[in-house]
Amino acid sequence: MKFGVVVFPGSNCDRDMIETLKNDLNQEVITLWHKDDDLSMFTTDDCIVLPGGFSYGDYLRCGAIARFSPMMQSVIEFANKGGKVFGVCNGFQILCEAGLLPGALLRNAHMQFACKNVFLKTEDGEQVYKIPIAHGEGRYYADQQTLDELEKNKQVLYYYTNEKGEVTTEANPNGSLRNIAGICNANRNVFGMMPHPERACSDLLGNNDGREIFNALFFSKVPELV
């Protein structure tokens, strides 16, 4: 398995993602430019990563312009063939704008840019992960029916919780509906999350919880549909 990291004008977590995948997780990484459209070096076992940042200056809406870049047309095709796609932060916003994931990310309910560690948990898992967030538009929104379907199909990857793993209003850093921090599509090959696991994969950074997120998503089997 190898990874391709797309660089848009305004991406600013692309280097973090590339460094983490290469040096901390020992993966082969190819850097992709938003104006190119060639993904022929990837198979559906590989993963295209959309990193965090402010693609196209977040103009109009976060991710709205990036979604129409040449590379994104290939990424959408790749995802529809079953290839893995992973969006973090701005990458998650782009995936929602592209329609590869349902819903949208709105301005944080408290209007402030949130930059801190948060705690995450899967629905069924015991373990609580400490992962940093850094966003101004991370409030996950979808209509009630979509939210119900996401939860029924177990498409919610992570919920914001407190340190004990309890889903509480206080633990919600941005007003996301149902404390949703990350989701996947129904086919379970497209993943998006607001928190930054790539910033938590190294002893030097004092946090290795991000490794377990990458492990769960890519290196061991992702939970099957129930």
For residues 122 and 213, is the Cβ–Cβ distance under 8 A? no
> Does residue number 6 form part of the binding site for another protein (CB under 8 A)?
no
Which residues have C-beta within 8 Å of that of residue 205, sequence separation ≥ 6?
A: 199
What three-state secondary structure class fits 47? strand
Shortest gap between Cβ of 143 and another protein (angstroms)?
8
Pairing of strands 114-121, 84-88: unpaired
Which residues have C-beta within 8 Å of that of residue 90, sequence separation ≥ 6?
A: 11, 13, 50, 51, 52, 53, 54, 55, 58, 62, 63, 66
Shortest gap between Cβ of 137 and another protein (angstroms)?
10
Q: What value does the CA radius of gyration of the chain take, rounded to a whole number of Å? A: 16
Cα 56 to Cα 181: distance, rounded to the nearest angstrom: 23
Closer to another protein by Cβ: residue 61 or 154: 61
Closer to another protein by Cβ: residue 11 or 176: 176
- CA 64 distance to own-chain centroid: 16
Shortest gap between Cβ of 61 and another protein (angstroms)?
6
Residues from 135 through 174 that contact another protein (CB under 8 A): 141-142
Closer to another protein by Cβ: residue 82 or 99: 99
Closer to another protein by Cβ: residue 60 or 186: 60
Closer to another protein by Cβ: residue 93 or 122: 93
**Per-residue binder mask for another protein (CB under 8 A), 97-136, x = binder:** x----xxx-xxxxxx-------------------------
Shortest gap between Cβ of 139 and another protein (angstroms)?
8
**Per-residue binder mask for another protein (CB under 8 A), 171-200, x = binder:** ----x-------------------------
Residues from 13 through 72 that contact another protein (CB under 8 A): 60-61, 64, 68
Point out the residues that are catalytic: 89, 196, 198
CA atoms in the 13 A half-sphere facing the CB of 73? 7
What three-state secondary structure class fits 167? coil
Shortest gap between Cβ of 27 and another protein (angstroms)?
33
Which letter does DSSP use for residue 214 in this model?
Answer: H
Using CB atoms within 10 Å of the CB of residue 30, give its burial: 0 to 12 exposed, 13 to 18 middle, 19+ buried: middle
Catalog residues that contact another protein under the rule CB under 8 A.
Answer: 60-61, 64, 68, 96-97, 102-104, 106-111, 141-142, 175
